[in-house]
Amino acid sequence: MSALGRIFAVVGPSGAGKDTLIEAARKARPDLVIVRRVITRPAARGGEDFEGVTEEEFARRRRRGEFALDWRAHGLRYGLPEAQIAERQAGRDVLFNGSRAALEAAVQLFPDLRVIRVSAPSEVLRERLMARGRESAADIEARISRAAIEVPAALAVMDVVNGGALATGIDRFLAALQPVRA
């Protein structure tokens, strides 16, 4: 039997670059299982690879116990399919794009959770969200207002600052995914 793979939650404010860094890790680390989230958002071109479902379908899957963990944010529901998390059992490292507000619940479920916190200055967040153009100006302001949400103080986190050149952010992110040397 293989040892249990590691499990990583990538968190941080909207615009910090979580999806961008995760996509870079997908190329650099083909061994990683990157959880494909189920979200009650219409499928969009570009950005995160997720499964878009209706509220009804989300609720149905939740009732059937298909999600290891789920949460609400930005008026949307997000779920992590249990079947993908279970890849850990085969010794594979698993990574998911998480919510700071749902980290307490995540740690209850995965006591060995490794948290990677991605950050960038708030003026940079706003510029990036406006350039990305996925949300309205009002939605962008609502997202910026969540920028100050803290990771629970008791949790150890690995910080990845992605406020400047993307290549630097990617290097830092890949380093955070490496096993710690004894």
Ligand X SMILES: O=P(O)(O)OC[C@H]1O[C@H](OP(=O)(O)O)[C@H](O)[C@@H]1O
CA-to-CA separations, 100 to 12, 65, 75, 122, 157, in angstroms, rounded: 7, 22, 15, 17, 11
Q: Does 100 bind ligand X (CB under 6 A)?
A: yes
Contact status: 149 vs ligand X (CB under 6 A): yes
Is 12 annotated in a binding site? The answer is yes
Taking phi over 0 as left and psi of -120 to 50 as alpha, with beta for the rest, 3 belongs to beta
- Answer yes or no: is 13 a known binding residue: yes
The annotation status of 19 as a binding-site residue, yes or no, is yes
Q: Residue 101, interface with ligand X (CB under 6 A)?
A: yes
175 is an annotated ligand-binding site residue:
no
Token pair for 154:
């008791």
Nearest distance from C-beta of residue 166 to ligand ATP, angstroms: 4
Q: Is 144 in the site for ligand X (CB under 6 A)?
A: no
Burial class (CB in 10 A: 0-12, 13-18, 19+), 4: middle
> Per CB under 6 A, does 166 bind ligand ATP?
yes
For ligand X, the binding residues (CB under 6 A) are 11, 14, 48, 73-74, 78, 97, 99-101, 146, 149
